[in-house]
Structure 1
Amino acid sequence: MAVFHFTTQKPLLLAALLLIVLLLPTDVQGIGVCNGQLGNDLPSDAEVVALYKANGIRGMRMYAPNPSALDALRGSDIEFVLDVPNQDLPALASNPNEAAQWIQNNVRNYFPDVKFRYISVGNEVNPNDEGGTAQYVQFVLPAMRNVYNAIAAAGLQDQIKVSTATFMALVSNSFPPSNGVFGNAAFMNPIINFLVTTNAPLLANIYPYFGYIYDKSNIGREYALFTSPEVVVQDGEFGYRNLFDAMLDAMYSAVEKAGGNAMEIVVSETGWPSDGGDEATTDNAATYYRNAINHVKGGTPKRPGKAIETYLFAMFDENEKGGKQSERHFGLFTPNQQSKYQLSFN
């Protein structure tokens, strides 16, 4: 896990920037929430959509096609991010017809009743993850091309953007944020070039929680929870009061070095567990989620004045999720649909 330390900001322009955010139209319609489905006690898909609507949650990300969930989303006005699971990448990369059929089955059959926003072709594929996701590295970009071509064949390339979800493990030299660079340029640079060509954002999973617990000797809890009263890291003209901005701007620096100077980054996951691990408490999680929701309205030091499109992880605790115990406790709601934190998503 990379180490991050960062900067202060320009209060001089803050009032003007906030006014611009309020007055200008924006693509981002509030906070989205990831809808993981690895549990045996979760509500029905219809109940899940009703809960999103009741709480004013305007975006959903889901990690694999689910016909029942897609049917439940019809007419909901919830903007939707759908993943192509990593295990599907080889077939979609090797055969354009497979990609076209995937898009027909999982997108065109539901459009426009379902408001698709992005297709994420793969999630956290890592060239350094030998024996894990590294097996999919060679398939990510060809699958993205084939999926994009299938979207374009339907005339939807301006409405539904094709991207992939990356994460901080692919950024090296991330302290300070201006030093951020992708550690495997042969993998990431062609992806960035493709996204530039197709005018699509990069999706990025940003977790200050993991950055903090794996480097507590250098990173303080307040910095990770958006509660630092002062600048913790100065990086040239930019001052950083929180780890979220530092990580996201390190990703922006990496994207810029790969040729994506004007590219947007969508935070496709961020969250904090309430149990099952170091610093995984209800109080810490509540603090993180509340502050994240408020913070992303205003951008980062490197990209100020524009809301950061952000998807919180996740809607529910998932009792069948693998990995560490904490992975099963990222839910904003319990499976019986009770709010854990009383959050306001607007």
Structure 2
Amino acid sequence: MKISRSFVRCLLLLLVFFVQKGYVTAKPFTGTYGINYGRIADNIPSPNEVVKLLKSAKIKNVRIYDYDHTVLDAFKGSGLDLVIGLPNGMVKEMSNNPDHALTWVKDNVQSYLPETHIVGIAVGNEVLGSNDQDLQSSLYNAIKNIYNATQKLKLNNLVQITTAHSQAVFATSYPPSSCVFTETVSQNMKKLLELFSEIGSPFCLNAYPFLAYMGSPDQIDINYALFNPTNGIYDEKTKLHYDNMLDAQIDATYAALEDAGFGKMEVVVTETGWASHGDENEEAATFENARTYNYNLRKRLAKRKGTPRRPKSMLKAYIFALFNENSKPGPTSERNFGLYKPDGTIAYDVGFPSLKSSSSVKEIGAHWYSYVSVLTTCASTLFLFLRS
């Protein structure tokens, strides 16, 4: 049976109609595994090649840090779920001008739907953990204006609005039950959490056991950071045991949310990974450690389970990152978080194919994966519509 592009397009348009009418709310994260597609490099594959790679690897959830139109065009008809980013440099502009926010959403979201499956907008990245007070104070209004724009365009049930936080927003995170937000961010954070609670957005966390271990190698067992067998830690207050650091970092976030009065909010990990190469003072940045972390993390996510504090909330994480990015500033480790090398071959084996090794059979399978995904979504939408 041959499925035409026009048929798939009609189904997608039908789905958007139902979503806009409020019959169903889109799910911005399918399954448990996602990837960050960073592009601060001059030697990585083209966006079209990246789409082929992602489909052959069956990675459906993708996050980018901007709204580059060559990427949005490449993702058309792919069946992949894309979260786009509003860069930090545009946050103040969007905060001060609701009309600019509306125009931005029209040009970079509405005009690409439904062919490019944009499921989320991340407004800024790690803003509240930065030293820019003006930027911090602008974040809430920027998010509010972007959300109001999606609401005005009847896209608010289709596109989720978020922002990602670093662990710099926490005063302490050990033991997990002691975690609270710092006083410097608490006022801005409270407003954001109230808004996200109203619109149904999760708390997005960039969590790096790699960075935590690098900061205290004498106090942290590297096996605990790498998901390897270890004694772990025991939280006396909650009587919970942790056998890996990522779970502890996430539960520390839940503790801070509960302390702030938002105990029902979901936590989604928007960045986590391990560098495969670093400077002389970054001894933990090795290929073996990076492979171990990412391989064990993939196994952890495949279990589709929660954390000790939230066992029923299935953990979801975007891995950082798809490629090594040779133009990123900072220490050598910053340029070596990729699962893939610039030529599309794997940096180390965690179970994904290389771009060059993906056969035509895999590509056919990836196409059918996209079609089946669309058909399944439309079928469920029609079912919900007929029931209402």
Normalising by structure 1, what TM-score?
0.88
Name the Cα RMSD after superposition.
Answer: 1.8
Alpha-carbon offset, residue 261 of structure 1: 1.4
The separation in 1 between residues aligned to 2:174 and 2:109, in whole angstroms, is: 40
Q: Hey, which bits of structure 1, 4+ residues long, moved more than 6 A? A: none
1:271-290 residue pairs with structure 2 within 5 A? 271-276=273-278, 277-290=282-295
The aligned amino acid for 2:293 is Y
1:20 match? none
Matched, 1:190 2:191: yes
Structure 1 counterpart of 2:322, from 315, 318, 330:
315
1:161 match? 160
More deviation, 42-51/221-230: 221-230
| Cα contact 1:189–1:259 (8 A) shared by 2 | no
SS at match of 2:31: coil
Alpha-carbon offset, residue 28 of structure 1: 2.9
The aligned amino acid for 1:141 is Y
SS at match of 2:265: coil
Q: Which has the larger radius of gyration?
A: 2
The aligned amino acid for 2:336 is H
Alpha-carbon offset, residue 340 of structure 1: 1.7
| Cα contact 1:192–1:259 (8 A) shared by 2 | no
| Cα contact 1:99–1:150 (8 A) shared by 2 | yes
Structure 2 counterpart of 1:125, from 118, 124, 127:
127
The separation in 2 between residues aligned to 1:230 and 1:77, in whole angstroms, is: 42
The separation in 1 between residues aligned to 2:89 and 2:127, in whole angstroms, is: 11
SS at match of 2:109: helix
1:204 match? 205
Q: For residues 8-34 of structure 1, what are the alpha-carbon distances to aligned partners after superposition, in whole Å with 9 as ceiling and x for unaligned?
A: xxxxxxxxxxxxxxxxx9953241110
SS at match of 2:190: helix
| Cα contact 1:31–1:345 (8 A) shared by 2 | no
| Cα contact 1:30–1:345 (8 A) shared by 2 | no
SS at match of 2:82: strand
| Cα contact 2:122–2:164 (8 A) shared by 1 | yes
**Cα–Cα, structure 1 residues 294 and 306, in superposed 2: closer, same or farther, change >3 Å?**
farther
Q: For residues 27-82 of structure 1, what are the alpha-carbon distances to aligned partners after superposition, in whole Å with 9 as ceiling and x for unaligned?
A: 53241110100001011110011100011111111001100000001111111111
1:22 match? none
Higher relative contact order (CA 8 A, sep 6+): 1
Q: For residues 94-113 of structure 1, what are the alpha-carbon distances to aligned partners after superposition, in whole Å with 9 as ceiling and x for unaligned?
A: 11111011111111111111
| Cα contact 1:103–1:150 (8 A) shared by 2 | yes
More deviation, 301-310/216-225: 301-310
SS at match of 2:112: coil
Higher helix share: 2
Q: For residues 300-326 of structure 1, what are the alpha-carbon distances to aligned partners after superposition, in whole Å with 9 as ceiling and x for unaligned?
A: 111113321210000000000011111
**Cα–Cα, structure 1 residues 168 and 142, in superposed 2: closer, same or farther, change >3 Å?**
same
SS at match of 1:163: strand
**Cα–Cα, structure 1 residues 26 and 233, in superposed 2: closer, same or farther, change >3 Å?**
farther
1:300 match? 307
Alpha-carbon offset, residue 240 of structure 1: 0.7
% identical aligned pairs: 34
More deviation, 116-125/204-213: 116-125
The separation in 2 between residues aligned to 1:82 and 1:274, in whole angstroms, is: 26
Matched, 1:40 2:47: no
2:72 match? 70
| Cα contact 1:316–1:332 (8 A) shared by 2 | yes
The separation in 2 between residues aligned to 1:279 and 1:92, in whole angstroms, is: 40
Q: For residues 183-214 of structure 1, what are the alpha-carbon distances to aligned partners after superposition, in whole Å with 9 as ceiling and x for unaligned?
A: 02112111111100111111110100001110
SS at match of 1:156: coil
The separation in 2 between residues aligned to 1:249 and 1:103, in whole angstroms, is: 34
Structure 2 runs not aligned, ≥5 long: 1-26, 354-388
The separation in 2 between residues aligned to 1:270 and 1:51, in whole angstroms, is: 20
Q: For residues 95-134 of structure 1, what are the alpha-carbon distances to aligned partners after superposition, in whole Å with 9 as ceiling and x for unaligned?
A: 111101111111111111122222111100135x43xx44
1:261 match? 263
The separation in 1 between residues aligned to 2:294 and 2:324, in whole angstroms, is: 15
The separation in 2 between residues aligned to 1:221 and 1:101, in whole angstroms, is: 48
1:226-245 residue pairs with structure 2 within 5 A? 226-235=227-236, 236-245=238-247
The separation in 2 between residues aligned to 1:263 and 1:283, in whole angstroms, is: 35
SS at match of 1:109: helix
Matched, 1:327 2:326: no
| Cα contact 1:118–1:161 (8 A) shared by 2 | yes
| Cα contact 1:293–1:345 (8 A) shared by 2 | no
The separation in 2 between residues aligned to 1:76 and 1:342, in whole angstroms, is: 25
More deviation, 259-268/281-290: 259-268
Matched, 1:149 2:148: yes
The number of aligned residues is 319
The aligned amino acid for 2:36 is C
